[in-house]
Structure 1
Amino acid sequence: MTALVSTLVLGGARSGKSVFGEKLVAGSGLTKIYLATATRSDDEMAERIAHHRNRRGFSGWTTVEEPLALVDALTREAGRGRAVLVDCLTLWLFNLMEAGRDPEVEAKRLTRYLGVATAPIVMVSNEVGLGLVPETPLGRAFRDAQGRLNQIVAATVPQVVFVAAGLPLWLKQEN
């Protein structure tokens, strides 16, 4: 087994990216931390959260819910002997924008943390720039912010993988 390193897992909706990220963390042999950024904003989102929980099971995973203070949660939870799955950066970005926080400031804070992290962190994020141009200014602003966030995180971590149809395509593999 090779040692797990911090990894960005990209993909579209229902591409298998979360499952792939879960497998990376589960296969590490380390204590598994699931850092969830979703909020139960409505019944449909509550169902999505339940689906994710049920799929990975309850044994062996510690779930931490943190929709905004991602770096603070990572500072608390990521330590030696642990691997953290952040699912997902896309919802975290949405939460930041909805709360009126500056996504670029928060992204820089995250990448500074990733540069000194002692535990492997696997981050799941949507690649939203492959579809149609959003119709609204807010939609375009979100798409652009997501693209910038993905780029800055990808430049920081040693591994980046794109998942489509459940299949991984490694974009970056450094040791």
Structure 2
Amino acid sequence: MPEAKLTFLLGGARSGKSAQAERLVAAYPAPWIYIATAQSLDDEMAERIAMHRAQRAEGWITIDAPLDLVGAIGDVPDGRPLLVDCLTLWLTNHLLAGHDLEQECERLESALAAPRGPWFVVANEVGLGIVPDNALARKFRDAAGRLNQRVAARANSVSFMVAGLPLQVK
């Protein structure tokens, strides 16, 4: 059985996070589990989701979990390589649904605390830009920063992606 560990990949938009995570997961024997958190709320997002699915090689099992990420993680068989992409969209979904972000983040942190295989989690680093000009965006940025810190503390390995290159942080 593959080693149980949590790898966290952070970076900005189009930094290469997802591609790097897919490469790392694919180093293990298939089948690989891909838990997707995006929702196709408009045509452009539906096209993005379809393109991402089409680009993945055979061997990927995709589970859509825009809100119940904890339940989806719980259903993954022991030893199975897992990719969660991404925490930022998952957090956005909960924020827009009016859910208790602290409670949801605690539940997720508990689920990630004891990986049962090689698990890879992707998130955006949203704290490198200017302070957002509205309360909702500031609430999101702050919650995303806190969530990233919590996941990074639990992770065995953390990489920060810049221009497709991984910088090992932990």
Name the TM-score class by shorter chain.
Answer: over 0.9
**Aligned residues: percent identity?**
54
Distance 1:88 1:155 in 2: 17
Aligned length: 169
Q: Specify the alignment match of 1:76 in structure 2.
A: 75
Query: Secondary structure in 1 aligned to 2:8?
Result: strand
What is the CA-CA distance between 1:81 and the residue it aligns to? 3.2
Task: Answer yes or no: is the 8 Å Cα contact 2:30–2:60 preserved in 1.
Answer: no
Deviates more, 1:24-33 or 1:156-165: 24-33
Task: Answer yes or no: is the 8 Å Cα contact 1:82–1:119 preserved in 2.
Answer: yes
Q: Please show how residues 40-119 of structure 1 align to structure 2 within 5 Å.
A: 40-57=40-57, 59-77=58-76, 79-119=77-117
Distance 1:142 1:153 in 2: 16
Cα deviation digits, residues 50-81 of structure 1 (max 9, x gap): 22112223x1000000100111110012x223
Q: Specify the alignment match of 1:132 in structure 2.
A: 130
Deviates more, 1:111-120 or 1:79-88: 111-120
What is the CA-CA distance between 1:142 and the residue it aligns to? 0.6
Query: Secondary structure in 1 aligned to 2:61?
Result: strand
Task: Answer yes or no: is the 8 Å Cα contact 2:4–2:115 preserved in 1.
Answer: no
Query: Secondary structure in 2 aligned to 1:104?
Result: helix
Task: Answer yes or no: is the 8 Å Cα contact 1:11–1:17 preserved in 2.
Answer: yes
2:70 alignment partner AA:
V
Unaligned runs of 5+ in 1: none
Cα deviation digits, residues 137-168 of structure 1 (max 9, x gap): 11111111100010001001111110010000
1:152 alignment partner AA:
R
Cα deviation digits, residues 103-136 of structure 1 (max 9, x gap): 2211111111222231222111000011121111
2:64 alignment partner AA:
E
Distance 1:169 1:20 in 2: 11
The answer to whether residue 3 in structure 2 is matched with residue 7 in structure 1 is no
Task: Answer yes or no: is the 8 Å Cα contact 1:4–1:28 preserved in 2.
Answer: no
